[in-house]
Amino acid sequence: MKSFNYEAKAIRVLFGQSTISQVNAEAARAGVARALVLSTSNQSDEASRVAGYLGPVHASTFTGAAMHTPEDVTERALEIARSVRADGIVAVGGSSTIGLGKAIAIRTGLPQIVLPTTYAGSEMTAILGETRNGVKATRSDPRVVPKVVIYDVDLTLGLPVGISASSGLNAIAHAAEALYAREGNPIISLMAEEGIATLSRSLPAIVARPDDLEARSDALYGAWLCGTCLGSVGMALHHKVCHTLGGTFNLPHAETHAIVLPHVLAFNAPSVPEAMQRMARALCAADAIQGLNALCTRLGIARSLHEIGMPEEGIARAAELVVSNAYWNPRLVDRAQAVEIIQRAWHGHTAQ
């Protein structure tokens, strides 16, 4: 018998179509009367839609959210929040915007309402990663958990195919590590396997038919499951590598996860055979790593860190950061092994 602890996070979730229209009612439910809407500059149209549904509750909008939550961006958003006396945050977007909302919440205690537009899943977690002077630090704090998450499938219909694929693989990474997490439990393992299976079916359908509403709905459901997994158990080597690479070299978050995942799983696989069996089953493959390689090929994502802008001379520095203040991992990793993992990902070798 395996002993375990399980603690559910109390996040209100609305899932469906046109659920964006409920944001005003949810703001009232959360006690928000003056909301600051957050987005990236590329999603200012979505921010305007949210502001329209909020009506008189909308106090101001900040469209400067950026990857990896730089502290200077947070400070600029905080100035606006204070100037309009905001008493709540409404974030519409992916991990950049959601991270900004969390960074504001941990400094102010303001409640958050989140409308995800990608499959990253960070909206379901108490995890905040922030970047200062080129170094990304991650912590877990219940104060950054949103009050409400509104999943509106319509908000994902315009998500470009490439971002859909990479953010979906980012979500799969959350579930994959949950399968062998130190704090793992049977409930989270069930959710992780279901999340991986759902995304592995729906993402190729989205690549083939970006406007496939059923596939978009399934992918968003899978992202919710995978995000819940990440929010319920700890992270391991994969997330440490990706947080290090993203914060140090300003690499795109989702693409970094998608490229690195097969290589870290291949390294960990000998130490976690049960987790790999569950992942293989979810991928409908005889072998988890081969199944993941095949999925990446079908999705047509970038396969090397070189393609997304990482300098080769940064590999040694990244490896040193990975093994310093390391996350727990089922297999110990030393500097040389970290270098090998990152080198393989940099060159785009096939994981094995």
339 pLDDT more than 70: yes
pLDDT at 7: 76
pLDDT at 55: 97
pLDDT band at 284 (very low <50, low <70, confident <90, very high): very high
- The separation between CA 185 and the C-alpha centre of its own chain, rounded to angstroms, equals 21
Return the CATH number of 12-156, one of 3.40.720.10, 3.40.50.1970, 3.40.920.10, 3.40.630.10: 3.40.50.1970
- Range 267-276, long-range pairs (CB < 8 A, 24+ positions): 267/237, 267/331, 267/333, 267/337, 267/341, 268/180, 268/236, 268/237, 268/329, 268/330, 268/331, 270/331, 271/180, 271/330, 271/331, 272/179, 272/180, 272/330, 272/331, 275/176, 275/179, 275/180
- The separation between CA 231 and the C-alpha centre of its own chain, rounded to angstroms, equals 10
The per-residue pLDDT for range 24-83, each reduced to its tens digit, is 999 999 999 999 999 999 999 999 999 999 999 999 999 999 999 999 999 999 999 999
pLDDT band at 1 (very low <50, low <70, confident <90, very high): low
pLDDT band at 200 (very low <50, low <70, confident <90, very high): very high
Return the CATH number of 161-347, one of 3.40.30.110, 1.10.10.60, 3.30.70.1150, 1.20.1090.10: 1.20.1090.10
Average per-residue pLDDT for the chain = 95
Mean pLDDT of 124-137: 89
pTM: 0.93
Q: Are 97 and 253 in contact, with CB atoms under 8 Å apart? A: no
Q: Please state the domain extents for the chain.
A: 12-156, 161-347
Mean pLDDT of 309-325: 95
DSSP state at residue 142: G
The residue among 326 and 198 whose pLDDT is bigger is 198
- Give ∠ CA 121-123-125 in degrees, rounded to 5: 90
pLDDT at 330: 97
218 pLDDT more than 80: yes
pLDDT at 39: 98
d(CA 245, CA 126): 21
Mean pLDDT of 235-250: 94
The per-residue pLDDT for range 83-126, each reduced to its tens digit, is 999 999 999 999 999 999 999 999 999 999 999 999 989 999 99
136 pLDDT more than 90: no
pLDDT at 5: 81
